[in-house]
Amino acid sequence: MKITSTSCICPVLVCLCFVQRCYGTAHHSSIKVTRNQTKHIEGETEVHHRPKRGWVWNQFFVLEEHMGPDPQYVGKLHSNSDKGDGSVKYILTGEGAGTIFIIDDTTGDIHSTKSLDREQKTHYVLHAQAIDRRTNKPLEPESEFIIKVQDINDNAPKFTDGPYIVTVPEMSDMGTSVLQVTATDADDPTYGNSARVVYSILQGQPYFSVDPKTG
């Protein structure tokens, strides 16, 4: 198709300008409301963030072989939906709940009522729940947590074999290897130096020596 005069171009330009203006007006004036957002105005989005609820706690430990007159404090369960008005009730279930571990259902404080031995059981798996006292409806989903028994240095190292009996050829050179001994400790090797084993000779010096690390 050929355009022979400018008079034919003008109507087309006017029509295109009109269409563009209508499209732009319709696009910028749209308002959309969704569940988790407020309004979409002029291409910008204002997002409404709902406050998240959840458990607030740290790692729980209980010192083994506690012999104090009072129950040993372990830690606190706390939900950030708890406003401190007593409307939240905390429930504790799982290993030792109600027998070894007791909870104040208003404050969430957990205490241990018995002396524990880490060598018999290293940790306890429990479950926490927070409910509304008025409605008995859960405020938080039931959640699992662990109370670890913290070690104390209450075990002496023991030799895995023994007694050791060896012979040494006479006129052996100084530094001759005679024997390697091995001892183990039942305390927790990941906590402090409770399970660290150091070798030493009580009798036999100065004729014999032992490497304090390797035995």
Where do the DSSP E strands lie in 99-163?
101-103, 109-112, 123-132, 143-150, 158-159
10 domain residue, yes or no? no
Q: Is the pLDDT of residue 6 over 50?
A: no
pLDDT of residue 201: 87
Q: Do 167 and 127 reside in the same domain of the chain?
A: no
* Structural domain boundaries, residue 110: 59-150
* Per-residue CA distances from 186 to 54, 111, 157, 160 (Å): 38, 26, 7, 12
Residue 183 per-residue DSSP state: E
For the cut 50, the answer to whether the pLDDT of residue 38 exceeds it is: no
Burial category of 87 from C-beta neighbours within 10 Å (exposed 0-12, middle 13-18, buried 19 and up)? middle
Q: What is the DSSP track for 1-34? A: -----GGGHHHHHHHHHHHHHHHHHHHHT---B-
Residue 191 has pLDDT above 90, yes or no: no
φ and ψ at 10, to 5 degrees?
A: -55, -50
Q: What is the model's pLDDT at position 162?
A: 76
- The answer to whether residue 71 is domain-embedded is yes
Q: How far is CA 70 from CA 112, 114, 116, 122, in A?
A: 9, 10, 14, 22
- The predicted model gives 162-185 an average pLDDT of 88
What distance in Å separates the CA atoms of residue 215 and residue 182, rounded to the nearest whole number? 6
User: Does 66 share its domain with 141?
Assistant: yes
CA gyration radius, the chain: 37
Cis, bond preceding 206 (omega within 30 deg of 0):
yes
Q: One-letter amino acid identity for 4?
A: T
pLDDT digits over 91-149, tens only?
Answer: 999 999 999 999 999 999 999 999 998 889 999 999 999 999 999 999 888 889 999 99
Does one domain contain both 157 and 116? no
pLDDT higher than 50, residue 47: no
Q: Please check whether residues 118 and 194 belong to one and the same domain.
A: no
Tell me the sheet residues that pair with 101: 97, 112
Q: Which of 53-57, 124-128, 155-159, 181-185 has the lowest mean pLDDT?
A: 53-57
My answer on whether 86 and 105 are in the same domain is yes
Ranked by mean pLDDT, which of 87-91, 138-142, 161-165, 206-210 comes out on top?
87-91
Closest CA to 139 of 193, 80, 184, 207: 80
What confidence score (pLDDT) does residue 97 get?
A: 94
pTM: 0.57
Task: Kindly report the length of the chain.
Answer: 215
pLDDT at position 101 = 95
Greater model confidence, 190 or 75 = 75
Structural domain includes residue 81: yes
pLDDT, residue 121, reads 92
Of the ranges 14-18, 69-73, 113-117, 160-164, which one carries the lowest mean pLDDT score? Answer: 14-18
Last residue of a domain, one of 132, 150, 168: 150
Q: Are 126 and 96 in contact (CB under 8 A)?
A: yes
In the chain, the number of structural domains is: 2
